[in-house]
């Protein structure tokens, strides 16, 4: 590579290098704004100045950019945010490709928008098809780069629709051997891949550009938000082309909420389920006589070759299941997205594959954000294998683990709270979020035990009674010999169960005696877990355990 400090401008379209981006104002401030012809009122039903929807947002919202920098592990100067990775691709080509003059290289079958964005910009398209096994034809790509003047190489890893990843060493060699060619790698599905992102290569290779999306792993497809990660010179040029105010305030708010630090534990739990379900489908789908071949995948989808495509589509249509038809690009091929376990079970049933014994798991998630705390909870009443708890209070984490362990449930919980003040808000709000999640997971409570009892522990004895009646009530009898266990205030033990009772809609009664505060609190938490185990357990009956017929 050359040492030219303005190398990006030298390969960009000259008109882009020479103009400034349009903006009536960078963003609203605390000033009296009479500069951008906005309405002075927020739209109904908000009050006159409540929502700030009447004010143009920042081109790149600072708080959101800070969060994205943390999420992707790159400095803010290396990120451009827009309406999905699609827009980032479009802006990149409009910045660097002169219509009727510059060429791009794509490796079909790949992400369809590569071709569309190039055509819209008027760029020439040079195609190097994938090999028979759908791996990138490395020799073919290198020959095409040698024989042609190519401005952008466009790769997708994991590739859509084939699901395979592009090797890191190959991308590095492309960047090194072609210093004035942009090497674009769309990483829309990288969260599902064991290979991981190439973002750590950005400081080394100034011509590497990555696109990432929040539509897939983070469930924000309807929000439309995605980024390009690249050298700061590239980003600065792209910002000139990016349309004004591309990130609406509702989008900013939705993304910030979905990417809250506390929510990441739930995202991780979902990803584990996603990958388990992908493995299950890769095992089960080949059993279907209508499918000739199933391809391995690093993404959240699976490519297959149909043996009888008409019957395959007809059988799925009976169950109102839609899959992606790729026959126009690859003969007899279809793509199936990996869904939730119950959705995948329906898919397999539609394809005539004998379903496994239904798990019918009772799973629920709860998110609670206040000025004092930010909490995410995921409970699984029927699978205790996954327990991950982080509240910033070690003793409290241990107590919550006792409920999960002795209650026989899976629990993922993360709380970021104002511990610099004290533990009160974190403990109370955790109880409210945990209780709300338990209530959701119990559903209509068909077949549950409803009641639970017990808990001796060394010199301590805790007697716990629980009734999942739907009616909150709490009784606590006990005197702790000390005020604290480390930073955990003893008074927060009964307060936690009071809040849990209210949020869960349960009657909880605890009587505890002992000489050691640590033991007494732990006995309470263990006892509630043990009491919950029979209460939430389900028998073969489909009755609701109440003469009223409802709980």
The yes-or-no verdict on residue 205 having pLDDT over 70 is yes
Distances (CA, A) of 164 to 136, 155, 239, 335: 9, 11, 31, 13
Per DSSP, helices labelled H in 111-180 are: 112-121, 138-147, 168-177
| CB distance 475 to 498 below 8 Å | no
Considering the domain architecture, whether residues 106 and 174 belong to the same structural domain is answered as: yes
488 and 342 in a common domain: no
Residues 215 and 123 in one domain: yes
CATH assignment of the domain containing 287: 3.90.1150.10
> Which structure tokens are listed for 370?
């206040």
Instruction: Kindly state whether residue 476 falls inside one of the protein's structural domains.
Output: yes
Q: Give the sign of the dihedral formed by CA 485, CA 376, CA 428, CA 506.
A: negative
Place of tokens 């702790």: 480
Q: What is the pLDDT of residues 293-320, one digit of tens each?
A: 999 999 999 999 999 999 999 999 999 9
Task: Write out pLDDT tens, residues 29-47.
Answer: 778 888 888 888 888 887 7
When computed from its CA atoms, the radius of gyration of the chain, rounded to whole angstroms, is 28
Are 313 and 377 part of one and the same domain?
A: no
* Euclidean distance between CA atoms 147 and 131, whole angstroms: 20
pLDDT exceeds 80 at position 521: yes
Mean local confidence (pLDDT), 355-379: 86
Answer yes or no: are the C-beta atoms of 542 and 443 closer than 8 Å: no
Could you tell me what percent of the chain has a pLDDT over 90? 82
pLDDT at 459: 85
Question: How confident is the model over 445-461, as a mean pLDDT?
Answer: 81
Q: Which of 58-67, 214-223, 426-435, 447-456 has the lowest mean pLDDT?
A: 447-456
Residue 395 has pLDDT above 90, yes or no: yes
Residues 371-376: what's their mean pLDDT?
95
Q: Which single residue is written with the structure tokens 């490519």? A: 303
Is position 549 within any domain? no
- The residue among 252, 286, 301 that closes a domain is 252
Q: What is the pLDDT of residue 358?
A: 55
| 425 and 293 in a common domain | no
Q: How many Å apart are CA 376 and CA 357, to the nearest integer?
A: 30
Task: Please check whether residues 274 and 205 belong to one and the same domain.
Answer: no
Q: What is the pLDDT of residues 500-520, one digit of tens each?
A: 999 999 999 999 999 999 999
For residues 199 and 229, give the distance between their C-alpha atoms in angstroms, rounded to a whole number: 8
Distance from the first to the final alpha carbon of the chain: 71
Residues 6+ away with beta carbon under 8 Å from 237: 8, 9, 12, 16, 17, 95, 96
3-state secondary structure at position 299: coil
Instruction: Give the whole-angstrom CA distance, residue 274 versus residue 279.
Output: 9
pTM for the structure as a whole: 0.86
Pairing of the two strands 208-213 and 182-186: parallel
Q: Residue 306: its pLDDT value, please?
A: 97
Q: Which two tokens stand for residue 12?
A: 């960009």
Nearest Cα residue to 207 out of 219, 198, 218, 196: 198
- CA 413/CA 427 separation, integer angstroms: 12
Helix (H) or strand (E) holding 208: strand 208-213
Q: What pLDDT digit, counting tens, does each position of 104-148 carry?
A: 999 999 999 999 999 999 999 999 999 999 999 999 999 999 999
Mean pLDDT across 351-363: 76
Residues 368 and 447 in one domain: yes
Average pLDDT for 477-493: 95
Answer whether residue 39 is part of any domain: no
Q: CATH number, domain at 103?
A: 3.40.640.10
Cβ atoms of residues 373 and 417 within 8 Å: yes
Residue that finishes a domain, picked among 192, 226, 252: 252
Instruction: Please state, for a pLDDT cut of 70, what percent of the chain lies above it.
Output: 95
Residues 6 or more apart in contact with residue 116 via CB below 8 angstroms? none
Sheet strands (E) in 69-199: 79-82, 103-106, 124-127, 150-156, 182-186
Which of 252, 280, 315 marks a domain boundary? Answer: 252
Handedness of CA 525, 528, 531, 536 (dihedral sign): negative
Please indicate, yes or no, whether residues 186 and 235 belong to a single structural domain of this protein.
Answer: yes
| Helices vs strands, H then E, count in the chain | 16, 22
Are 419 and 393 in contact by the 8 Å Cβ rule? The answer is yes
Q: For residue 46, what pLDDT is reported? A: 74
User: Is 460 within a domain?
Assistant: yes
pLDDT band at 1 (very low <50, low <70, confident <90, very high): very low
**The pLDDT value given to residue 545:** 67
Mean pLDDT of the chain: 93
Confidence at residue 2, expressed as pLDDT on a 0 to 100 scale:
44
**55, pLDDT greater than 60:** yes
**Does 414 fall in a domain?**
yes
- Do 388 and 524 lie in a common domain? yes
> Of 136 and 28, which is predicted with more confidence?
136
Please give the structure tokens belonging to residue 128. Answer: 């190097």
Coil/strand/helix, residue 186: strand
CB hemisphere CA count around 469 (13 angstroms): 13
Total number of domains constituting the chain: 3
CA pair distance 375, 430, nearest whole angstrom: 7
Q: What length is written for the chain?
A: 551
Same domain, yes or no: 346 and 410: no
Are 397 and 508 part of one and the same domain?
Answer: yes
Query: Does some domain include residue 411?
Result: yes
Residue 34 lies in a domain: no
Higher local confidence (pLDDT), 224 or 27: 224
Domain range for 386 is 364-536
Same domain? 301 vs 246: no
Is 531 a domain residue?
yes
């Amino acid at each position: 590579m050359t040492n030219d400090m303005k190398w990006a401008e030298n390969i960009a379209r000259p008109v882009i290098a020479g103009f400034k981006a349009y903006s009536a104002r960078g963003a609203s401030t605390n000033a009296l704004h009479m500069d951008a012809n906005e309405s002075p009122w927020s739209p109904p039903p908000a009050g006159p100045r409540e929502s700030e929807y009447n004010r143009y947002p920042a081109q790149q919202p600072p708080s959101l950019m800070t969060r994205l920098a943390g999420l992707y592990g790159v400095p803010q100067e290396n990120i451009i945010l827009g309406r999905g990775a699609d827009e980032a691709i479009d802006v990149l080509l409009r910045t660097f490709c002169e219509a009727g003059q510059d060429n791009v290289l794509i490796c079909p079958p790949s992400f369809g928008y590569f071709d569309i964005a190039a055509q819209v910009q008027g760029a020439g398209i040079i195609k190097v098809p994938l090999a028979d096994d759908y791996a990138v034809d490395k020799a073919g790509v290198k020959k095409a780069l040698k024989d042609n003047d190519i401005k952008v190489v466009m790769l997708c890893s994991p590739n859509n629709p084939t699901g395979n990843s592009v090797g890191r060493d190959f991308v590095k060699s492309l960047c090194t051997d072609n210093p004035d060619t942009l090497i674009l790698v769309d990483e829309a599905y990288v969260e599902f891949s064991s290979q991981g992102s190439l973002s750590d290569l950005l400081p080394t290779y100034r011509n590497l550009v990555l696109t990432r999306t929040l539509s897939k792993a983070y469930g924000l497809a309807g929000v439309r938000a995605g980024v390009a990660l690249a050298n700061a010179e590239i980003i600065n040029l792209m910002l000139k082309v990016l349309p004004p105010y591309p990130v609406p305030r509702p989008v900013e708010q939705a993304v910030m909420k979905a990417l809250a630090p506390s929510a990441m534990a739930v995202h991780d739990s979902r990803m584990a389920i996603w990958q388990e379900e992908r493995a299950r489908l890769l095992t089960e789908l080949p059993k279907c006589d209508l499918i000739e071949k199933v391809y391995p995948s690093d993404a959240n989808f699976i490519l297959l070759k149909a043996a009888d495509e008409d019957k395959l589509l007809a059988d799925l249509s009976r169950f109102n299941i839609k899959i992606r038809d790729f026959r126009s690009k690859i003969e007899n091929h279809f793509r199936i997205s990996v869904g939730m376990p119950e959705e995948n079970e329906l898919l397999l049933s539609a394809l005539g594959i004998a379903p496994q014994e239904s798990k019918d798991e009772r799973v629920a998630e709860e998110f609670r954000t206040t000025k004092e705390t930010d909490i995410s909870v995921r409970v699984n009443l029927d699978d205790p294998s996954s327990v991950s708890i982080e509240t910033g209070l070690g003793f409290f984490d241990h107590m919550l683990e006792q409920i999960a362990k002795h209650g026989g449930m899976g629990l993922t919980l993360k709380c970021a709270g104002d511990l610099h003040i004290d533990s009160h808000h974190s403990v109370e709000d955790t109880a409210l979020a945990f209780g709300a999640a338990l209530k959701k997971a119990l559903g209509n409570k068909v077949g549950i035990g409803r009641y639970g009892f017990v808990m001796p522990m060394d010199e301590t004895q805790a007697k716990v009674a629980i009734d999942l009646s739907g009616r909150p009530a709490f009784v606590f009898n006990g005197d702790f010999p000390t005020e604290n266990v480390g930073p955990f205030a003893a008074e927060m033990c009964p307060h936690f169960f009071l809040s849990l009772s209210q949020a869960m809609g349960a009657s909880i009664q605890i009587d505890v005696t002992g000489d050691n505060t640590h033991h007494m609190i732990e006995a309470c938490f263990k006892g509630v877990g043990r009491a919950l185990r029979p209460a939430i357990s389900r028998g073969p009956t489909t009755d609701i355990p109440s003469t009223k017929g409802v709980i």
